[in-house]
Amino acid sequence: MKTLTEPFKIKMVEPLKVTTEEYRKSALKKANYNPFLLISDDVFIDLLTDSGTGAMSEQQWSAMIQGDESYAGARSWLRLEKVVRDLTGMPFILPTHQGRAAERILYSILGGKGKTFISNTHFDTTRANIEFTSAEAVDLVCKEATDNQSDYPFKGNMDIERFQQEISKRGKENIAAVIMTVTNNSSGGQPVSLENLKKVKQICVENNLLFVLDGCRIAENSYFIRHKEKGYEDKSYKQIAQEIFALSDAFVMSAKKDGLVNMGGLLTLRNEDLALQCKNLLIISEGFTTYGGLSGRDMEALAVGLQEVFEDDYLHYRIRSTAYLGEHLKAMGIPVVWPIGGHAVYVDAKKLYDHIPVEQYPGQALVCDLYIKGGLRTVEIGSVMFGKYDQEGKLIPAEKELVRLAIPRRVYTQSHIDYVIEVFEDILTDKKQAKGYKITYEPPFLRHFTAHFSPL
């Protein structure tokens, strides 16, 4: 069949407000041209993030009724712990309220001045938690990742050669951990191959380095391995994930992605001493070891979500529906990061709006136009997010000017996505009229969340 039908039907609906272009122009102006400052009722299709924005299944909702809200030793915790132990094979399992809480606990113990963390690419919160301890975070994504157009299937990989050089340069005793982010969110949601993970592991073993898996999209990564890497065609997605877990000494997870829940996180470990230190910090900051910031019903939903996410029909629909959007945009002539990753489509705004100089933020211009034309909310990943200033106050632009269209899980149907494609048709027609933006207010840190802009 040609149509990729959603492998679910809809039992409960959440109405979307239909607005006019005039209404959206005024709403965006009130939000100072920063879609983070819009109220969500004014957004028609929200592609800001895939984190915590998914829809839960009837099995998850019905499990929630059975949530045991006991402070200690809750039944719901035992259920979750069993599922996570079966999946990861790790003996020590800690619940947290979301991914960055697991990161803060682990990296504040491993980090500190003089330490280095090496990763294919650290996600922003990972880097922030590492740098907060005065340690350094080094990204070593493979060379293939710099070419947006090639078909190379595993652009999330670590550059093995540079990894070895970095160990020699810094000294293995100064490396706190090696973090493999699967899929590699900051480099376009691109997958990492098992071959690459195994090579990284081997080097970790040779140098006695801790191998940490940042695996919030591990099911999506397993899909790519089964379909693009030789030798895994006959394995189940869960078996592939388990091969990845077997390589890992520790696992941090934002369960808001492949946990299929709206809130939750995990930290799992093999080493007892390290687990004990983490448990102590967990109790101080998140909660007792059998709930770690989650309610019993949250843990029930997560226990079910971690099983549903590996189902064949779900994963096929998930990855193919993201690709459906990306492939259509590419065919229309919209420059996208290629191949399409698991959770999002990334548009190259510098190329699309090549008449807008980077100092006038072409990514922000596209984000604003997508909202005005179609009520879409997306996020700029370019010089608004990562730009810095030199001593004269001149912008040092980011490497790329991208706009991310992240797809919430099980939320939008094909007709919503066809609508997104039509909005891009309008963008192409009017592309020459697109204008840049200037920043009128910015806070000292993480400016993209709260900055104000005005159109030029």
Interaction site with ligand F0G (CB under 6 A): 49, 51, 98-100, 123, 125-126, 181, 185, 214, 216, 254, 256, 265
d(CA 193, CA 215): 13
Distance of closest approach, residue 50 Cβ to ligand F0G, in angstroms: 7
Distance of closest approach, residue 33 Cβ to ligand F0G, in angstroms: 21
Residue with the CB atom nearest ligand F0G in the bound state? 99
DSSP letters spanning 292-352? TT--HHHHHHHHHHHHHTT-HHHHHHHHHHHHHHHHHHHHHT--B-SS--SSEEEEEHHHH
356 or 398: CB nearest ligand F0G: 398
389 or 445: CB nearest ligand F0G: 445
Amino acid at position 212, single letter: V
Distance of closest approach, residue 317 Cβ to ligand F0G, in angstroms: 20
90 or 167: CB nearest ligand F0G: 90
Distance of closest approach, residue 123 Cβ to ligand F0G, in angstroms: 4
265 or 292: CB nearest ligand F0G: 265
Which long-range CB contacts under 8 A does 120-124 form with residues at least 24 apart? 120/156, 120/157, 120/158, 120/179, 120/180, 120/181, 120/184, 120/187, 120/192, 121/156, 121/181, 121/184, 121/185, 121/186, 121/187, 122/179, 122/181, 122/186, 123/181, 123/185, 123/186, 123/214, 124/186
98 or 268: CB nearest ligand F0G: 98
Distance of closest approach, residue 86 Cβ to ligand F0G, in angstroms: 23
With beta carbons less than 8 A apart as the criterion, state whether 69 and 234 touch.
no
Query: Could you identify the residue written with the tokens 């309220």?
Result: 97
106 or 216: CB nearest ligand F0G: 216
d(CA 133, CA 136): 9
Distance of closest approach, residue 393 Cβ to ligand F0G, in angstroms: 30
341 or 436: CB nearest ligand F0G: 341
Which long-range CB contacts under 8 A does 281-286 form with residues at least 24 apart? 281/105, 281/108, 281/109, 282/94, 282/96, 282/105, 285/101, 285/104, 285/105, 286/95, 286/96, 286/97, 286/101, 286/105
d(CA 456, CA 442): 17
Distance of closest approach, residue 125 Cβ to ligand F0G, in angstroms: 4
Distance of closest approach, residue 441 Cβ to ligand F0G, in angstroms: 23
Query: Could you identify the residue written with the tokens 């090579």?
Result: 199
265 or 374: CB nearest ligand F0G: 265
